[in-house]
């Protein structure tokens, strides 16, 4: 019985923590959308520190584009990867793109393929296409026409 009470209290605390993070994210978007990236970024940072994946993604975006602070691409990649690891679709696509293009980091098709496939598994048509293309052409993996055609077909549907 004591364990159940502790579990219930812990669940309530997690729920409240999540609500606070969502509210900070909303305030971040409110200010960001009105052209105040610095004030929005402060709220995104609060939500990010509370574990919100979308807020972490936005912190990466602000770092990448140098909004409010000097550009920091290394930190942006770390934040994009963190948000991607939490299952945030946009971050998975962006992380795949960063590694595929190799503009700010050394091109790494294996890492790109990993993140594109994660996003493809969530139903992102663009990522399904890229994953299929990579399998068919052996980028980051051995050529696998069956897997490639599977992803390409899904991207069309």
| pLDDT at position 114 | 98
The series of mean pLDDT values per 10 residues for the chain, 157 residues long, is 61 55 87 89 89 94 88 94 98 98 96 98 97 96 95 94
| pLDDT at position 8 | 57
The answer to whether residues 20 and 50 touch, using CB atoms and an 8 Å cutoff, is yes
Topology classification of domain 12-86: 1.25.40
| pLDDT at position 131 | 97
| pLDDT at position 12 | 55
Euclidean distance between CA atoms 15 and 20, whole angstroms: 9
Q: Quick one: CA torsion of 19, 23, 26, 27, rounded to 10 degrees?
A: -170
- Pick left, alpha or beta for residue 4 (phi over 0 → left; psi -120 to 50 → alpha; otherwise beta): alpha
Cβ-based burial of 50 (10 A; exposed 0-12, middle 13-18, buried ≥19): middle
The answer to whether residues 99 and 109 touch, using CB atoms and an 8 Å cutoff, is yes
Q: Quick one: CA torsion of 113, 116, 117, 123, rounded to 10 degrees?
A: -160
| pLDDT at position 29 | 86
- The pTM score is 0.84
């Amino acid at each position: 019985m004591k364990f159940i009470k502790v579990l219930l209290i812990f669940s309530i605390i997690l729920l409240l923590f999540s609500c606070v993070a969502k509210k900070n994210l909303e305030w971040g978007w409110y200010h960001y959308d009105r052209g105040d990236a610095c004030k929005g970024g402060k709220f995104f940072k609060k939500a990010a520190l509370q574990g919100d994946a979308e807020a972490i993604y936005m912190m990466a975006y602000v770092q990448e584009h140098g909004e409010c602070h000097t550009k920091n691409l290394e930190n942006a990649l770390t934040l994009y990867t963190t948000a991607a690891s939490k299952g945030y679709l946009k971050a998975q696509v962006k992380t795949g793109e960063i590694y595929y293009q190799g503009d700010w980091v050394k091109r790494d098709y294996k890492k790109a393929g990993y993140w594109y496939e994660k996003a493809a598994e969530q139903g992102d048509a663009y990522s399904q296409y890229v994953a299929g293309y990579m399998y068919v052409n052996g980028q980051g993996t051995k050529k696998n026409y069956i897997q490639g055609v599977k992803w390409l077909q899904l991207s069309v549907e």
